[in-house]
């Protein structure tokens, strides 16, 4: 089994000045072909309407999968709470060679939204984001849900996949504190926005960790993979929360519940999925449960052609590629390791 993760960055077929989908497919399809994956966890897949009033569909991803030879894969994706269809922006999608038996998404379901009253907020001509109807105006809601799917493997076992795209470190909105899309009126306003972003990022990681523990409660030998764009490196709070290392819990009896970062198989020089201002960062990860680790063989990060995201945004007109490198891990699912 080859399990991959890929942030394709705003994949859309919209024609509002974005890079054409045809140009993106010319670059992204060979990347998917090289993955030769059985399961791919995508981040940042947009959904569009074929006509006003029509339901949204993942038409851009469908075209990409067809071009890359994955047309017959089963799909599961995040949904909008009101329509039940895919969200307009930044859907999480799992494409699987094998049937997907269960699909769930979590957004402040296991971890209620914390409440916080901004101290630097002031009058603003920019409308603030609308809170969910049940949350209240001071609720700090996660930006995206967690996608949990159960894949029926050929051997008869279920693989639990958590596809994540955690909040970026970019500061969250504070009313009256911005002078432009990326410009702030005061340092304190930016600092408070950054503080809220860290709450969202760590809170979503906590919700994913609680879901992992629920799976272990049901079956201590669960095959679990937590995959995606964490927007965090090893040592950052979200990564530590998800990993659940015994050095953090201080309890050896919990060691079997810790998740293992498969990137540790690679030398430091190869361990990066994003380049930002010349810095090589490992922001995309694949964590495995110990039982899944028994089947693990190797991991690849396809970062040979990766560009610097900051340089590209400044110098490249309509870049068709993603500034995230895909990762793929190979497992031997023959069942010899545990007698299956």
For the segment 121-158, what is each residue's pLDDT rounded down to a tens digit? Answer: 988 655 555 555 455 678 999 999 999 999 999 988 99
Could you state, in order of their start, the residue ranges of all structural domains in the chain? 2-331
Please state, as a whole number, how many other Cβ atoms lie within 10 Å of the Cβ of residue 271. 19
Residue 113 has pLDDT above 80, yes or no: yes
Query: Whole-prediction pTM value?
Result: 0.93
Which architecture characterizes domain 2-331 according to CATH? Answer: 4-Layer Sandwich (3.60)
Q: What is the CA radius of gyration of the chain?
A: 20
Please state, as a whole number, how many other Cβ atoms lie within 10 Å of the Cβ of residue 309. 18
User: Which are the contacts of 269, defined by CB distance < 8 A and separation ≥ 6?
Assistant: none
Q: Rounded CA gap, 171 and 326, in Å?
A: 26
pLDDT band at 311 (very low <50, low <70, confident <90, very high): confident
């Amino acid at each position: 089994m080859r399990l991959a993760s890929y942030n394709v960055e705003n994949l859309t077929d919209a024609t509002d000045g974005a890079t054409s989908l045809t140009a993106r497919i010319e670059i992204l399809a060979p990347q998917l072909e090289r993955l030769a994956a059985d399961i791919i966890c995508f981040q940042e897949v947009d959904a569009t309407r074929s006509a006003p009033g029509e339901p949204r569909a993942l038409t851009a991803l469908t075209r990409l999968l067809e071009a890359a030879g994955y047309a017959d894969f089963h799909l599961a994706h995040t949904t909008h709470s009101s329509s039940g269809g895919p969200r307009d922006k930044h859907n999480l999608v799992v494409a699987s060679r094998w049937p997907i038996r269960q699909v769930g998404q979590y957004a402040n379901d296991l971890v209620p939204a914390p409440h916080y009253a901004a101290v630097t907020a002031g009058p603003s001509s920019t409308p603030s984001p609308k809170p969910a109807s049940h949350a209240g105006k001071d609720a700090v809601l996660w930006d995206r849900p967690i996608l949990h799917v159960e894949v029926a493997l050929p051997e008869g076992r279920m693989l639990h996949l958590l596809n994540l795209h955690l909040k970026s470190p970019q500061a969250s909105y504070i009313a009256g504190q911005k002078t432009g899309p990326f410009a702030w009126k005061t340092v304190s306003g930016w600092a408070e926005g950054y503080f809220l972003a860290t709450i969202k990022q760590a809170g979503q990681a906590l919700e994913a960790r609680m879901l992992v523990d629920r799976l272990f409660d049901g079956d201590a030998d669960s095959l679990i993979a937590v995959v995606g764009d964490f927007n965090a490196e090893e040592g950052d709070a979200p990564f530590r929360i998800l990993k659940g290392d015994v050095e953090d819990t201080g309890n050896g009896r919990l060691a079997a519940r810790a998740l293992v970062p498969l990137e540790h198989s690679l030398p430091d020089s190869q361990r990066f999925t994003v380049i930002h201002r010349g810095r090589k960062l490992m922001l995309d990860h694949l964590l495995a449960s110990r039982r899944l680790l028994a089947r693990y063989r190797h991991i690849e990060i396809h970062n040979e052609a990766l560009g610097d995201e900051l340089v590209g945004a400044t110098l490249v007109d309509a870049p068709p590629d993603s500034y995230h490198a895909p990762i793929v891990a190979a497992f031997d699912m023959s069942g010899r390791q545990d007698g299956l």
